[in-house]
Amino acid sequence: MADFGSESSEKKEEFFSEAQEIVDGLGKFLLDLEGAVAASRVDPDVINEMFRAVHTLKGIAGLFGATRMSGMSHELENMLDDVRMGRLDLTSNVIDLLFKAVDLYTHILLFERGEAPDPQQEIAKLLASFAAVTQPEEAPTSNIFTQFDLDPGMFGVLTEYEEHRLKSNIESGLALFRLRVRFNLTVLDTALEDLKKKAKPLGEIITYLPAPSTDESDFENLELDILMASKSDAATIDTTLSVEGLVVNPVKRRSGGGPPPKAAAAPVSKSPLPKIGAPPSLPPPTIAGPARLPQDLAPESHAAHGAKSVRPAAPAHAARTSVAPQAQGQAGQFVGKSAAQTTVRVDIRKLDRLMTILGELAIVRSAVGRLAERLRGSVEHRELGTDLHRLHRTFERQLGQMQNGILEVRMVQLGPVFDKLQRGLRAISREYSRPVNLVITGQETEIDKLIVEELSDPLMHMVRNAFDHGIEIVEDRLKVGKPEVGTIALNAFQKGNHVVIEVEDDGRGMDPKLIIASAIRKGVITEDESREMSARDAYRLVFMPGFSTKTVVTDLSGRGVGLDVVKTNIAKLGGIVDVTSEVGIGTKMTITLPVTLAIINVLIVEIGGRSFAIPLASVEEAFVYDPSLTRNVEGREVLSLRGQSLPICHLSSLFQVDAFDDASDSTRKFYVVTVAVGIRRLGLLVDRLEGQQDIVIKPLGRSLKSVHGFAGAAELGDQRVALVLDVAAIVEEVLAGDQSRFLAMAGEGRA
Amino acid sequence: MRRVLIVEDSNAVRTFVRGALEDEDFQRAVGGFDVLEAASGFEAMALMPRGPFACIVTDINMGDINGLEIVNFVRKSEHHRETPVVIISTQSSSRDIERGLSLGANAYLPKPFSAVALQDVVRQLVAPGEG
């Protein structure tokens, strides 16, 4: 375990946080890389980014004494160095090893935190596999740079990698250019990103050289000397980049100054494997000669850079020719490094504190609002009340903006979670030799950071479940005319105040009859209960504790965790899971989650003289209760509403508080609040509707932890406290809690 | 107050280096200075006008503007030419280090280095004049 000695826990946290971020980033790069290899279109930038990431990991692991991590990083760095320098081909074997390394990193990090056993053996095993694939070939040394009239001053500051990229670009017959540009320091970030994005389709930028300014008292601008390889000409580069004050100078080729480009001699198709960045079609390399240069663009200023004589500074280990320059990289996809530098990492607890303060402010706002109303109602203070009311409105608006701002900060995209799922699925798919494709949509959907953190385990379980119980083995798929490769789709989208995530497979589907039979066999339900079960009721059985339709428990889904745990965990986040399925077609599980857990908008209702809050996100509508529209179905009250039956729940009797009057007293009005969780709806009968309000929900505390049906409590701003209904739990308890009554409903949502 | 500039793209390494340089005993020994951080070569360039610096500590292996280019820039700059530069790097190739030293870097510390090693190097390079 890492010995942090006297290092403060803050530094330690910084280490874990950065290491985790890098490991996650590696995983993402790797998925991109795998796709790119499959499409024979590998961007050398991706490899280099991965190399740099591992390099950084090694650095920080070393500093913080995480020896397992620095040891593995060292080997991984060497391997990636071989790949980026073209000494090692990106075989599927290599990619597999990279995936394993990323998984192992996660394990190592857990170990360093003291939450997992020592992964020493796994590391040793992986390093042995590294050694087996890396047998770097001795690269031929050549001095291709003498072809170009390159400024030795510029040449001398290239790192080994940059030199390698330069070389492989020259070998592929691309021309070199020096771009001179001046940026204002205040807009450097954006100007540079813009430049990179535009330059990407034209070729590769080898390096950026900050030019010592002629006028050093100029503190506002930075002059850059950029070395770029491109297949376009200077004029095209100039117009494409369209940067004010840009000067593009071709680097002169020397007549007879060196061997012709070697790309023609080294056939790219030698190996069936895709080469990094190998352009699909390169222009035939031209024999170097001055005739190729647009003479009118030949730089006047060139001599000023001191390019009188080229010192052939041959690199000690020049690389093989296999890494060709990128021709048409997917523009701008991997240039976002400096974008990350404009972000700040914030402890979520700090945001929580801000949110709490904001919540108290919201309560103050409500109180002020009520005060304004009272003043407006009184004769002598009406004017004052109107003024206060106006102020209150401004306060309200700005508070709302601030609330949205803070909420926005808490929001993160689902992408990283989905990436993790993809890696996980990839691993099990290979392990079981059952090919499956994960199709992801909506990875940009945003959700509360706290929810995201709790989401990856349940989602992984659902994906595994889809793989294990859904996707058939290849022979079975072919037999029924399905494509060999199964598909699991992961779709996310926002729907009002909820985020919906669907896990859908094109596997064998679920047969309600088999589920019911299995449930009876396992004693989950009785034969009697099963008689009236609809298909949907049957699907829900898979969420019952200890349920599994497979007789053999596999090590995939059978980790002692059933779908019931998934359901419980999702419910803890205020979400619900629904299932639909069709035999032979596939199964779809749908998770519906609230967008955020922090501040909620509620409907305040009164039951038996007490106030309760119902999260508005779950409220569909409210209307006056009309007893004549209800009927009794096996002891349960059901209301017919627009052709659908809505089960009614008398909250006063559920909570055992005394209602003002008996509900049967037809002279009194009652209200029905229709709540919906996913596709399930329930009508809650309340005495009175009070209004809407934003509240900060507070937990009930340890002593009341066992009380079900309430998500917490909230202050209402006038010294009143209201219990907040846990709608998901109530719907669950009322509709499914009592099986026999629930079953009598025969699917409450249907007409 | 004198300033030291750290150019390093890893947050954790920057935090580590800052911690080493802001150590109270060390600060007392060398006369005290502020620490400025740059997370990339470009950020470093943007901070250059805020010099002079008592010392610049830079990584080599960074995207876009690499550490060698920083060294080169510093040595050619009228204002910063005399500033001591320390390279910190895990780079496996010694070629880049050699190149950095030949471009005019004063010292090289292979990562992982200890806080004490860094302090020693910086202490030697920073003229103890004012403290």
| Distance from the A489 Cα atom to the nearest Cα atom in chain B, whole angstroms | 36
b/e burial code for range A526-554 (CB count within 10 A of at least 16 → b): eeebbeebebbbbbbbbbbeebbeeeeee
Q: Does residue A576 sit in the same domain as residue A668?
A: no
Contacts of A158 in chain B (CB under 8 A): 68
Select from A287, A311, A336 the last residue of a domain.
A336
Query: Based on the structure, what is the number of domains in chain B?
Result: 1
In a domain, A720, yes or no: yes
Maximum CA extent, chain B: 38
Q: Does residue A397 sit in the same domain as residue A418?
A: no
With a CB-CB cutoff of 8 Å, which residues 302-321 of chain A face chain B? Answer: 315-317
Residue B86's domain spans which residues? 2-125
Contacts of B70 in chain A (CB under 8 A): 210
Residue A493 burial (CB count, 10 A) = 13
DSSP state for residue A138 in the 8-state scheme: P
pLDDT at A82: 84
Q: Does residue A420 sit in the same domain as residue A541?
A: yes
Tens of pLDDT, residues B115-129: 888 888 888 888 654
**Helix or strand run (H / E) with residue A605:** strand A599-607
pLDDT at B108: 87
Answer yes or no: are the C-beta atoms of A291 and A250 closer than 8 Å.
Answer: no
Question: How distant, in Å, are the alpha carbons of A302, A347, A500 from that of A677?
Answer: 71, 31, 12
Contacts of A52 in chain B (CB under 8 A): 9, 61-63
pLDDT at A504: 92
Q: Does residue A538 sit in the same domain as residue A459?
A: yes
CATH number of the CATH domain containing A590: 3.30.565.10
Q: How far apart are CA A288 and CA A147, in angstroms?
A: 8
Verify whether the Cβ–Cβ distance B10 to A60 is below 8 Å.
yes
In a domain, B77, yes or no: yes
Verify whether the Cβ–Cβ distance B111 to A59 is below 8 Å.
yes
Which residue in B has a C-alpha nearest to residue A190's C-alpha? B42
In a domain, B98, yes or no: yes
pLDDT at A426: 85
Answer yes or no: are the C-beta atoms of A294 and A245 closer than 8 Å.
Answer: no
Query: Based on the structure, what is the number of domains in chain A?
Result: 5
Structure tokens at B34: 């502020």
Alpha carbon distance, N-terminus to C-terminus of chain B: 11
In a domain, A162, yes or no: yes
Q: How far apart are CA A148 and CA A146, in angstroms?
A: 5
Pairing relation of β-strands A576-582 and A680-686? unpaired
Contacts of B42 in chain A (CB under 8 A): 188-189, 192, 208, 222, 338
In a domain, B8, yes or no: yes
Residue B66 burial (CB count, 10 A) = 25
Q: Does residue A257 sit in the same domain as residue A366?
A: no
Verify whether the Cβ–Cβ distance A159 to B66 is below 8 Å.
yes
The residue among A38, A27, A47, A39 whose CA lies nearest residue A323 is A47
Q: Does residue A451 sit in the same domain as residue A588?
A: yes
Q: How far apart are CA A253 and CA A145, in angstroms?
A: 10
In a domain, B14, yes or no: yes
pLDDT at A589: 92
b/e burial code for range A701-733 (CB count within 10 A of at least 16 → b): eeeeeeeebbbbbbbbbeeeebbbbbbbbbbbe
Answer yes or no: are the C-beta atoms of A720 and A667 closer than 8 Å.
Answer: no
Residue A48 amino acid letter: N
The residue among B27, B20, B28, B5 whose CA lies nearest residue B83 is B5
Q: Catalogue the E-assigned strands of A422-524.
A: 436-441, 446-448, 486-495, 498-505
- Residues 6 or more apart whose Cβ sits within 8 Å of residue B123: B26, B29, B30
Q: Is B109 on the interface with A (CB under 8 A)?
A: no
Q: Is B51 on the interface with A (CB under 8 A)?
A: no
Q: Does residue A418 sit in the same domain as residue A559?
A: yes
| Distance from the A30 Cα atom to the nearest Cα atom in chain B, whole angstroms | 19
Half-sphere exposure of residue A485: CA atoms within 13 angstroms, side-chain side: 10
Which residue in B has a C-alpha nearest to residue A337's C-alpha? B63
pLDDT at A737: 53
In a domain, A715, yes or no: yes
In a domain, A216, yes or no: yes
Which residue in A has a C-alpha nearest to residue B70's C-alpha? A210
Contacts of B56 in chain A (CB under 8 A): none
In a domain, A2, yes or no: no
Residue A467 burial (CB count, 10 A) = 23
Verify whether the Cβ–Cβ distance B61 to A81 is below 8 Å.
no
Q: Does residue A471 sit in the same domain as residue A540?
A: yes
In a domain, A221, yes or no: yes
Q: Which residues of chain A have pLDDT under 70?
A: 1-10, 134-146, 212-219, 254-343, 545-546, 548-561, 597-599, 658-667, 678-679, 701, 705, 717-719, 736-751
Q: How many helices (H) and strands (E) does chain A have?
A: 22, 22
Structure tokens at A59: 């650095």
Task: Please count the residues of chain B.
Answer: 131
Residue A572 amino acid letter: K
Q: Is A513 on the interface with B (CB under 8 A)?
A: no
Residue A195's domain spans which residues? 144-336
Question: How distant, in Å, are the alpha carbons of A73, A159, A187, A343, B66 from that of B92?
Answer: 12, 12, 35, 30, 16
Q: Which SS3 state, helix, strand or coil, does residue A583 take?
A: coil
Q: How far apart are CA A503 and CA A489, in angstroms?
A: 6
CATH number of the CATH domain containing B46: 3.40.50.2300
Structure tokens at A121: 């053996």
HEC letters along A545-576: CCCCCCCCCCCCCCCCCCHHHHHHHHHHCCCE
Verify whether the Cβ–Cβ distance A156 to B15 is below 8 Å.
no
Alpha carbon distance, N-terminus to C-terminus of chain A: 61
Verify whether the Cβ–Cβ distance B69 to A56 is below 8 Å.
no
In a domain, B130, yes or no: no
Residue A460, beta-bridge partner list: none
| Distance from the A283 Cα atom to the nearest Cα atom in chain B, whole angstroms | 27
CA dihedral (A716, A718, A723, A727) in degrees, to 10, reads -30
Q: Does residue A182 sit in the same domain as residue A293?
A: yes
User: A15 exposed, middle or buried (CB, 10 Å; 0-12, 13-18, 19+)?
Assistant: buried
pLDDT at A713: 84
User: A495 exposed, middle or buried (CB, 10 Å; 0-12, 13-18, 19+)?
Assistant: exposed
Residue A437, beta-bridge partner list: A487
Residue B78 burial (CB count, 10 A) = 11
CA torsion through residues A152, A327, B62, A211, sign: positive
CATH number of the CATH domain containing A187: 3.30.70.1110
Residue A365 amino acid letter: R
The residue among B61, B16, B19, B55 whose CA lies nearest residue B41 is B61
What ipTM describes this predicted complex? 0.79
Residue A203 amino acid letter: G
DSSP state for residue A698 in the 8-state scheme: B
Choosing among B93, B94, B109, B118, which should be mutated to test the A contact, i.e. which has the most A CBs within 10 A?
B93
Verify whether the Cβ–Cβ distance B16 to A63 is below 8 Å.
yes
Q: Is A85 on the interface with B (CB under 8 A)?
A: no
Q: How far apart are CA A464 and CA A473, in angstroms?
A: 15
Verify whether the Cβ–Cβ distance B12 to A209 is below 8 Å.
no
- Residues 6 or more apart whose Cβ sits within 8 Å of residue A572: A454
Tens of pLDDT, residues B30-82: 888 888 999 888 888 888 887 789 999 999 888 788 888 899 889 888 888 88
A642 dihedral zone (left: phi>0; alpha: psi -120 to 50; beta): left
Out of A15, A59, A188, the one facing B90 most closely (by C-beta) is A59
Select from A103, A137, A171 the last residue of a domain.
A137
**Helix or strand run (H / E) with residue A623:** strand A619-624
Q: How far apart are CA B3 and CA B36, in angstroms?
A: 7
In a domain, B131, yes or no: no
Q: How far apart are CA A490 and CA A339, in angstroms?
A: 28
Q: Does residue A568 sit in the same domain as residue A612?
A: no
Cis geometry, peptide bond prior to residue B112 (ω within 30 degrees of 0)? yes
Question: How distant, in Å, are the alpha carbons of A365, A387, A396, A618 from that of A381?
Answer: 20, 10, 22, 39
Structure tokens at A635: 């002891």
Residue A145 burial (CB count, 10 A) = 24
pLDDT at A489: 92
Q: Is A158 on the interface with B (CB under 8 A)?
A: yes
In a domain, A342, yes or no: no
Question: How distant, in Å, are the alpha carbons of A19, A59, A366, A727, B128 from that of A718?
Answer: 48, 56, 8, 24, 65
In a domain, A4, yes or no: no
Q: Does residue A294 sit in the same domain as residue A179?
A: yes
The residue among A513, A487, A501 whose CA lies nearest residue A418 is A501
Choosing among B42, B68, B77, B94, which should be mutated to test the A contact, i.e. which has the most A CBs within 10 A?
B42
Which residue in A has a C-alpha nearest to residue B62's C-alpha? A52
Verify whether the Cβ–Cβ distance A338 to B40 is below 8 Å.
yes
CA dihedral (A279, A280, A284, A289) in degrees, to 10, reads -20
Q: Which SS3 state, helix, strand or coil, does residue A736 take?
A: helix
Tens of pLDDT, residues B78-124: 888 889 999 987 654 677 788 888 888 888 887 678 888 888 888 88
Q: Does residue A636 sit in the same domain as residue A738?
A: yes
Answer yes or no: are the C-beta atoms of A215 and A233 closer than 8 Å.
Answer: no
